[in-house]
Amino acid sequence: MEDRRYLECIEEISYILLKNHKVFKVSQQFAEITEYTTADLLGKSIAEIFKILRVGPSVDIKNIAEKADYFLFTKSLEFRSISIEIIKEEGSQLFIIREKPNSRLEAKHTYLSELCKSNFVGVAVYSVPDMILIKANQQYLDFLEPPFNKSYYSIGKNIDKIILGWSGSKVEKFWKEAILTGKAVQVKEYEHIGYERGITYWDSIIIPVTEGESIKYVVSNTYEVTEKVLNRKKVEEQIDAINLQNKEMEAVFESIPNGVFVRSKEGDILQQNEISRKLIEHSNESKTSYGKNSEAKYFNESGKEIDIEDMPSFRALKGEKIKNQRITVVDNGKESVLDMSSSPIYDKENTVLMSVTAFDDITELVSNEKKIRNNREQLKAIIDNMSDGVVAIGKCGNLVMLNKAAEKHFNVIKIIEGRNKNDSEIEYFDVNMKELREGSLPSDRILRGEIITEYRIIIKRYSENIYMCISGSPVYDDSGNFLFGMMCMKDITEKVKQERIIKSQHDSVLQAEFERNEALEKTIAMKDEFLSIISHEFRTPLNVINSAVQAMEYICFNELSNNTKKYLGMIKLNTFRQLRLVNNILDITSSNLKSTKINKKNIDIVFFIDAIVESVRSYANKKEIDLILETSYKEFVVAIDSEKFERILLNLLSNAIKFTSNNKKITVRFNTLKENIFIEVSDEGIGIPSDKIDTIFEQFGQVDSSLSRQVEGTGLGLSLVKKFVEDLGGRIFVNSKVSKGSAFIVMLPNEKVTETYEYRSSKEFFYNHILESTRVEFSDIYL
């Protein structure tokens, strides 16, 4: 205690006295060491005092040792190595702080102070191992991020606090290496990323400083090279960009579809692209004057050999500008044609520096051109040899091409073409003699896109008529654009004249034919009329004979001898046959004269058919033929011309009986279907050969027309039947097989007429009437 009080009195000792944890007294010596005045420190706690003095390393105020070595920083932030001894008493603490003798940096390491003063490079001294910044010049501090660029904020602090991202950084590794090896380490262009300045670059040397055995400090000499690095990088980037540009340029140069090469004024190839290399440069390895040591020969368009010096690229070196010159290169027997253009390139002084040549290999094009030329010539030869005139007309009606044949008609073409429209001596017309004016000319129409096929025109020229047959069409390219109009023309004047002669001959032949036919028709009509008159005239005496015979039979039948009766019968039969023939001829002639009259009335056709069948039964019985009528109808009313129908059915029945042998069967059927009625007469007779089926309906058509035939007949019956059926609006069919039989089917319309009519006459009237007709119709068949 005595000691302490004693010490308090000794001003030479450096101490601070705390009473009640606050600085109560500061010795003069302490103030001198620390450069702080009593006023700066009085009343502060020991923690505040340590903070002000930046006491380190790592002081734990609560457990501070009674005596230990530390460092502090003076007010002017000078580093001092100190020892602290604490004397504690109740209510007061005495901190005796002694500076270690000869511990000052500026005294021990004078060069460091000098280095710091120079401010040429950034200099910093850090303590080892705690890495506290104990000294730094402003140059160094300037490298640090604010606020650490001020010594007040950075001195006495750990490097990790003042340099951003220090821990784990690359530069920390260099520092550790220097401390470990005790050797200086050089760091070149270290990249540092800061908040404020972004990326900066540093060159630095880390020098470990030894005191005694151990490393006490690390001195960092740092020199910022950001600008230098950035400048260099910029230059490098520029170089890269230029290299890229060059590469791009080269790529562009290479990708040019033509061959391109640059020739220096000395004649060397400076640059060329792939195409150029392949086609021109034979000695790619040496960029010497091409062609000079090559075997190639060069020819101009007229086929004249030219010297290498006269090639476009060399001529351009003499200041000439060459456009699209065709050069044929013959090299190693291979011939290629190049289309070359060359230009000189001048420097500032306007002297030729080099020449640039672009060329295209047009060998194929030239050969195609040649082929096309040959084809065209061939085509022209063909067209010229054509007898027809061929003309090609351009878009504006101009003449593109004409062949020799067309040349002959050149004047005509001019008109067609419309060039000579004002020539009043020449007019032209269509075949109807309608004048063709401007716009309706064949050429005009073709130019409008029309296709003309064999169009005839008449050209009147100096009172002469020329006939032309014109065909033509517009010709388009692949894209549908009009190219030209093609027109073919033929002088058909002679042909037209011939045609006219033939036509007039033909007309007179036709006229003669017509007249002949007319005369023939007249003759036939006269014949029919004659026959008709004759038949009528025949009928009257026949009827008289018939009546006389009937009168004889009626009046004196019993008085007649059997022989007389027989002859009388023969007279009667032959009268009927004659009557039948006359009737038939009359019917035929009247039908030829178109005077057939149809008189349809509603009748019960079933009754009528039955009556007809019954009227011929005696003829069938004579031959022991079974004659049957088959129908499901008891009555069926239909409009019909009874007279014609009677003739039809009697005719078919007489044929059936005639051509059917004894003991066979004949069936008559009646039926209806839809709009028609059907009457069928079928027999089991001799039948008709298939090749004769059509003949039997013709006039005088018979299967057996020989004189030795078995049965009588004229061959007129069926032709009349067919005619009557058709007159009644129906059709007839036949079905027949030789030796099996025939079936004649008559189809008639199922219709009625409006007028009322007693459709069923008395049976008696019918029978008598029919019997009369039957006798005539059956006169070929002997009873």
- Positions in the binding site for ligand ADP (CB under 6 A): 655-656, 659, 683, 685-688, 696, 701-704, 713-719, 742
We find the least distance from the C-beta atom of residue 575 to ligand ADP, in angstroms, to be: 17
As a dihedral over the C-alpha atoms of residue 288, residue 291, residue 293, residue 298, rounded to 10 degrees, the angle is -170
d(CA 653, CA 666): 8
| CB nearer ligand ADP, residue 406 or residue 573 | 573
We find the least distance from the C-beta atom of residue 589 to ligand ADP, in angstroms, to be: 16
The closest of 193, 73, 185, 76 to 134, measured between CA atoms, is 73
Q: Are 474 and 485 in contact (CB under 8 A)?
A: yes
| CB nearer ligand ADP, residue 485 or residue 687 | 687
Non-local (6+) Cβ contacts of 398 within 8 A are: none
| CB nearer ligand ADP, residue 506 or residue 731 | 731
We find the least distance from the C-beta atom of residue 695 to ligand ADP, in angstroms, to be: 8
d(CA 150, CA 345): 63
Count of alpha carbons within 13 angstroms of residue 16, beta-carbon side: 29
We find the least distance from the C-beta atom of residue 739 to ligand ADP, in angstroms, to be: 10
d(CA 205, CA 207): 6
d(CA 671, CA 289): 117
We find the least distance from the C-beta atom of residue 649 to ligand ADP, in angstroms, to be: 13
Place of tokens 């000499």: 221
d(CA 698, CA 715): 8
| CB nearer ligand ADP, residue 229 or residue 625 | 625
Rounded (5°) CA angle 404-410-414: 140
We find the least distance from the C-beta atom of residue 620 to ligand ADP, in angstroms, to be: 13
d(CA 59, CA 70): 8
Q: Write a three-state SS string for 200-259.
A: EEEEEEEEEEEECCEEEEEEEEEEECHHHHHHHHHHHHHHHHHHHHHHHHHHHHHHCCCE
Phi and psi dihedrals of 76, rounded to 5? -90, 20
d(CA 471, CA 195): 92
We find the least distance from the C-beta atom of residue 727 to ligand ADP, in angstroms, to be: 17
| CB nearer ligand ADP, residue 20 or residue 739 | 739
Q: Give me the amino acid identity at 108.
A: K
We find the least distance from the C-beta atom of residue 549 to ligand ADP, in angstroms, to be: 23
d(CA 716, CA 700): 5
We find the least distance from the C-beta atom of residue 667 to ligand ADP, in angstroms, to be: 12
Q: Give me the amino acid identity at 476.
A: Y
We find the least distance from the C-beta atom of residue 581 to ligand ADP, in angstroms, to be: 9
| CB nearer ligand ADP, residue 470 or residue 648 | 648
For residue 459, the cross-strand partners are 428, 466
| CB nearer ligand ADP, residue 221 or residue 583 | 583
Count of alpha carbons within 13 angstroms of residue 437, beta-carbon side: 0
| CB nearer ligand ADP, residue 641 or residue 680 | 680
Paired tokens of 758: 């007693």
3-class DSSP state of 355: strand
| CB nearer ligand ADP, residue 151 or residue 654 | 654
| CB nearer ligand ADP, residue 137 or residue 774 | 774
Distance of CA 223 to the CA centre of its chain: 73
Q: Give me the amino acid identity at 581.
A: L
| CB nearer ligand ADP, residue 227 or residue 704 | 704
Instruction: Give burial (CB, 10 Å; 0-12/13-18/19+) of 49.
Output: buried
We find the least distance from the C-beta atom of residue 696 to ligand ADP, in angstroms, to be: 4
| CB nearer ligand ADP, residue 300 or residue 695 | 695
We find the least distance from the C-beta atom of residue 723 to ligand ADP, in angstroms, to be: 11
